Chain A
Amino acid sequence: MSSNVPVRLSVNGRVHELDVEPRLLLVHLLRDRLGLTGSHVGCDTTSCGACTVHVDGEAVKSCTVLAVQADGTKVTTIEGLAQGDQLHPLQEAFWEDHGLQCGYCTPGMIMAAADLLARNPDPTEEEIRHGLEGNLCRCTGYHNIVRAVSDAAKHPHAGRIPHPGPTPEGAAIGLELAREGLGA
């Protein structure tokens, strides 16, 4: 058995230093080691997107990234999205539009949608549907998810994911968002 390797990464603004098995997946580091169980596992073929988080500002499927590959990165999970009691516009919109039922796909869906809106702040329905192609939902038929993403897009900063805490740029974004007010 190979010996553990050290990993240092910032998750939702907190820096963690851990020793991990080289084969440990990022999703299991988040869930089992850090207790961040909002990222879910729904498949073993990178198909469902339930595990989607942001690594250095880009959506990735955390079941397909080794923890060691995330060494030195800034990770944002669903738990890092709201600022205190203030929900992110996407969270607000998913709630308002009934964009979830069992909720299992939801964290990944929201993180994927945030990435989509960061790249395309004003997407058409078609673009939303294609942008979420990597995330499966069995409950909603996608109808209200698409509606939620399109409603959230009306908010000026819906694509922005705060990474508050020790990184200066994260703190700045967090503060800015808080000042703007996030209500969708």
Chain B
Amino acid sequence: MTAVDSRAQGGFVGRPMKRKEDPRLITGRATYVDDIQPVGTLWMAFVRSPEAHARVTSIDTSAALAREDVVAVFTGDDLEGIAAPLPCAWVPPGVEVNAPEHWPLAKGHVAHVGDPVALVIGVDRYSVVDAAEDVVVEYEPLPVVVDPEEALKDEVLVHPGLGSNKVHEWSLGGGDLDAGFAAADVVIERRIVNHRVAGGAIEPRAVLAEERAGHITIWSSTQVPHFLRLFLSILLGLSEERIRVIAPEVGGGFGSKLQIYGEEILCAWAAQRVGRPVKWVETRSEAMMVTHHGRDQIATVRVGAKRDGTVTAFHAKILADFGAYLMLLTPAVPALGAFVMSGCYRFPAVQTDIVGVLTNKFSTDAIRGAGRPEATHMIEVAMDQLAHELGLDPLDVRRRNFIAADDFPHETALGIVYDSGNYQASLAKLLEHLDVAAFRAEQERLRGEGIHRGLGFSTYTEICGLAPSRVVGPGGFGLQTGLWESALVRVHLTGAVTVYTGTSPHGQGHETGFAQIVADRLGCDPEQVEVVHGDTAAGPQGLGTYGSRSLAVGGEAVAKATAKVVEKGKALVAHKLEASPDDIEVRDGRWIVRGSPEQGMTLAEVAGSAYIPEDIPEGMEPGLEETAFYDPNNFVFPFGAHAAIVDVDAETGKVKVVRYLAVDDCGPAINPLLIDGQVHGGIVHSIGQALYEQVIYDEIGQLVTGTFVDYALPTAAEIPSIETDRTETPSPVNSLGVKGIGEAGTIAASAAVANAVIDALRPLGVDYMDMPFTPMRVWNAIQEGQQ
């Protein structure tokens, strides 16, 4: 374990503190969007296409408009006020992107089930849904394509005007791939399908908009309030300072609320039209249909290796199903995975080739991990497949290829620089909790009893802490933004502290973690530190929460702003106590002169002097608050080693995870309680994908998994307790030494489960199969394996 100086002062950093946000949440006093109801609020409901692909030949709104409880009905023809289609923020330089226009209401053509064709505004939550049913729409169905490989043939076009379904081609590679394969003793190739999933936040999306005298306020269940403000400004032609976006309590996101949705734009637009507040609350059935999906990639992975398991070349060809439209980050998602296609290994040559394709399904975009779960799944499943091919122990093959612990920072063949790591240590720690030899003996014994038990590993690293603007911005990777973060730290006259962060949490616990960081540095109690987020009117420009960035980028911004406050405070204290600022330190809640602790001031006294400036140093401004913008110079690369043990019932095909162990490293812990929580949730999310969850469309583009009955999120009953441990390898990228941990569990776990299932099935003749390991699929695989 590494000693960290940030722990020294108040000692709050590193403690498993109970969360400051919880009292309101456990008593039912929190405020989510649907809990807000300005006087006179009207309700919005959508008329959505039941066809996966059609021309809209007529829309008759008269019956709906004739209802007493309806205020207005709008269709795609009414959208003049909306200046541009919905955005896609990735414009990779030098790459041709074939992108359809995506209007918030369809203009004569629908391309997926749920594409909205009209909206109805009415006086009440229930009757507005009835009214939407009174809108009569006639469709002329067009041919449908749902399979991405079929779509690539261009026999059926998702957007006939585009001429092709192929969106783009994009590659990232390094090292000599041909030489790598030429030098290999064996080459394995696997087709690895990573199926489509839903985000599954338990709070569906909700939007409320109110306009007063040209100023508009939007409450949205979003991860990105500032981006939403920007795009509302662009799309509605409204000056940005007149728009206020509030993300109040947000009931989970997992990437599904990292989006600019048509419903958000339309809610604001409709509020302007009707002159009253307008609210829309998504039903779960709508969420399954029109809250973006994730994954949906078909990869062909080729690995070349020496007999001893040393990998000489790794090549992934990915066909990514984007659905019907490109949304905020749709095409960037698989590309993000390409950045870590080396995993935690010293691969001399790596390449990822991506082709994006449109289909008559809803859009895919970032879901927890966004591209990195897919990449890790490919790498870690391939490592096991390779080991089996070579007759080697999968852990030995991993160890043989691990980047050496003393080789950090490490530049991979892709030119990506891993900040820090010690993969050997996390694997060793995992094995302290798991006796593999004993497991193998037990596995053998159980097999005799007809129980097929399997063990699978996943040693991963991932790329997060999005992101250095120069790397990901317009001239680099091509995101049309910087990805820095901001913070403002305000010490009030009484010594109470308010921190404004540009990140926008939705369950992660920033209010607690950030308060710990600030309290240590200012010499106060975290109870005195209020962290404000998710309100564009409250603090500086910010960029939101996603890509495991909040602590590594947002937290570092908080630390930097606090450091500025400390610097000013020290000058003030030095002046008061007639000492040198260099001799002032904050210790045990007091600002003291080093060596003479009897001389000192409390934070309240420092603040008092700053705000009642009878006696402050010449030239110093009154007040005690500072802002910082922090743009990291690199990403951060958390890593770890996971193991899953599963039982497969060969009679029914049912898979149960009986044990799950995770050792993760996200640098020194700010709050271990929060880390464990993120790891647990992330792992179960991924177990869900591996075993239960799949978004399914039938061949005519109808959504089969339209509710929580058909789309099976894991429940407590299917999941074991998760055994967690940590190593702490600081990152040199930020002063806190921290790395993100929100997505790591999801990135790591599906491969561990897959390898465990395959390990269990090998004696039954199954050497490889794709997720999801549902009873039917596993049973079928076993039947085929036995033939």
Contacts and interface: CB of A to CB of B under 8 A. Distances in A.
A138 to B, nearest CB: 5
Interface stretch (B139-147, B230-238, B707-715): B707-715
Interface string B231-265: 00000000000000000011110100000000000
A38 B27 contact: yes
A44 B736 CA distance: 44
B22 A102 contact: no
B509 A136 contact: no
B220 to A, nearest CB: 15
A28 interface: yes
Interface stretch (B567-575, B633-641, B671-679): B671-679
B35 interface: yes
B202 A45 contact: no
Interface in A29-54: 31-32, 36-45, 47-48, 50
B70 to A, nearest CB: 13
Most buried by A among B203, B283, B508: B203
A28 B251 CA distance: 18
Contacts of B201: 102, 104, 138
B707 A45 contact: yes
A110 B26 contact: yes
Interface stretch (B3-11, B157-165, B615-623, B681-689): B681-689
Interface residues of B, number: 59
A95 B26 contact: yes
A78 B284 contact: no
Given A45-B708, A138-B681, A101 B509 contact: yes
A172 interface: no
Nearest to B201: A138
A104 B508 contact: no
A82 interface: yes
Contacts of A42: 202-204, 251, 284, 708
Interface stretch (A3-11, A139-147, A161-169, A175-183): A139-147
B23 A95 contact: yes
B108 interface: no
A21 B123 CA distance: 14
B438 interface: no
B654 to A, nearest CB: 16
Contacts, number: 184
Contacts of B745: 141
A103 interface: yes
A79 B27 contact: yes
A115 B254 CA distance: 30
A155 interface: no
B176 interface: no
A140 B27 contact: no
Contact of A102 (B18, B506, B685, B721): B506
A96 B677 CA distance: 13
B367 to A, nearest CB: 11
A40 B27 contact: no
A101 B676 CA distance: 11
Interface string B689-719: 0000000000000000001110001111101
Contacts of A107: 26, 28
Nearest to B508: A101
B459 to A, nearest CB: 21
A78 B507 contact: no
A27 B575 CA distance: 60
Contacts of B676: 98, 143-144
A138 B26 contact: no
Nearest to A28: B125
B399 interface: no
Nearest to A146: B716
Interface string B444-473: 000000000000000000000000000000
A40 B251 contact: yes
B251 A77 contact: no
Nearest to A43: B284
B509 A142 contact: no
Interface string B24-61: 11111111101101000000000000000000000000
Contacts of B23: 95
A157 B250 CA distance: 32
Contacts of A50: 202
B29 A47 contact: no
Contacts of A47: 284, 707-709
B28 A38 contact: yes
B251 A104 contact: yes
A128 interface: yes
Contacts of A141: 680-685, 719, 722, 745
Contacts of B283: 44
Nearest to B130: A1
Given A132-B716, A133-B717, A139-B681, A95 B203 contact: no
Interface string A84-109: 00010001001110101111111100
Contacts of A101: 252, 507-509, 677, 681
A117 interface: no
Contacts of B680: 140-144
Contact of A95 (B19, B284, B708): B19
A133 B18 contact: no
A105 B21 CA distance: 15
Contacts of A132: 715-717
B681 A37 contact: no
B481 to A, nearest CB: 25
A22 B495 CA distance: 54
A130 B164 CA distance: 50
B640 to A, nearest CB: 16
B123 to A, nearest CB: 13
B723 to A, nearest CB: 10
Contacts of A68: none
Most buried by A among B506, B708, B722: B708
B716 A48 contact: no
B18 A98 contact: yes
Contact of A136 (B37, B126, B202, B204): B202
B451 to A, nearest CB: 18
Given A42-B203, A87-B26, A136 B713 contact: yes
A116 B683 CA distance: 26
A21 B126 CA distance: 10
B285 interface: yes
Contact of A100 (B25, B126, B682, B722): B25
Contacts of B251: 40, 42, 102-104
Most buried by B among A36, A98, A129, A133: A98
B199 to A, nearest CB: 8
28 contacts: A37-B28, A40-B251, A41-B34, A42-B204, A42-B284, A45-B708, A48-B202, A79-B28, A82-B27, A98-B676, A100-B25, A101-B677, A102-B203, A102-B252, A104-B202, A104-B251, A107-B26, A134-B715, A138-B713, A139-B677, A140-B677, A141-B683, A141-B722, A142-B684, A142-B714, A143-B721, A143-B722, A144-B676
Query: What are the 9 closest A-B residue pairs judged by CB atoms, nearest first?
Result: A38-B28, A104-B251, A102-B507, A103-B25, A141-B684, A101-B507, A141-B680, A78-B28, A47-B708
Interface of B: 18-19, 21-32, 34-35, 37, 125-126, 200-204, 249-252, 254, 281, 283-285, 506-509, 673-674, 676-677, 680-685, 707-709, 713-717, 719, 721-722, 745
Given A24-B126, A136-B708, A138-B201, 13 more contacts: A39-B28, A42-B204, A91-B26, A101-B507, A102-B506, A104-B203, A105-B202, A138-B681, A139-B252, A140-B677, A141-B685, A144-B676, A145-B716
